[in-house]
Amino acid sequence: MNYLRLINKENPLGKNYEAKNLVKVKIKTGGNKIIYLEKKTYKQVKKLLKEMNKHFDTEIVIDSGYRSYNYQLNLMRDLIKEKGTKAFKSLAYPGTSEHQSGLAVDIGFYKDDNYVPKFKVDDFLDEFEWLRKNAYKYGFIVRYEKDKESITGYIYEPWHIRYVGRLAQFLYENNLCLEEYYDFFE
């Protein structure tokens, strides 16, 4: 399993990529959705959420994980209907999403037992700040940071974390996104 694989518009997984080692998520999910994740990613995100939930009244859960090519295609079609071409800024084109690898997780929230389906960044500033500072301890990076929008090509998504394993600490401490890592070191 290549946990460092760079997945973006220029480096797509493509239509025929099959995610490996997917397991079904058995802890609470946003809206009780059925979610699958790559095995190690799941193991680590469970640890992360267990720790994170000790710090907040809000309940933090897994909101999205593996998405197939066709699922992403349908999401994109829906979003284009709703937002027009703006959709391309906030959702990965089918074949280019990290979610297709099973290595990406979106976190979601329950506030007073109510599922918060839309990601309202301003309502969870403390939670996202904690995640930014601690995700690396579990092998994750916050993939789409505010100051990296021009490099990643995506708007700030503080809820989207990507499992990369040990490299996470290096990326966090040097404020590098995955694209920069590949530019500088690979």
Q: List residues binding Zn ion (CB under 5 A).
A: 106, 160
Nearer residue to Zn ion within complex by CB, 148 or 160 = 160
d(CA 48, CA 169) in angstroms, rounded, equals 14
Minimum separation from the CB atom of position 164 to Zn ion (A): 15
Q: Using an 8 Å Cβ cutoff, are 67 and 105 in contact?
A: no
Q: Look at residues 70, 68, 80, 101 and name the one whose alpha carbon lies nearest to residue 1.
A: 101
Nearer residue to Zn ion within complex by CB, 34 or 185 = 34
In the chain the beta strands, taken as DSSP E runs, fall at 22-24, 36-38, 59-64, 104-111, 114-116, 140-144, 157-163
Q: For Zn ion, which residue has the nearest CB? A: 160
Active-site annotation holder among 18, 82, 157, 173: 157
d(CA 55, CA 83) in angstroms, rounded, equals 36
Minimum separation from the CB atom of position 160 to Zn ion (A): 4
Nearer residue to Zn ion within complex by CB, 21 or 90 = 90
Is 157 catalytic? The answer is yes
Minimum separation from the CB atom of position 92 to Zn ion (A): 8
Q: Would you please indicate which residues are annotated as catalytic (active-site) residues? A: 157
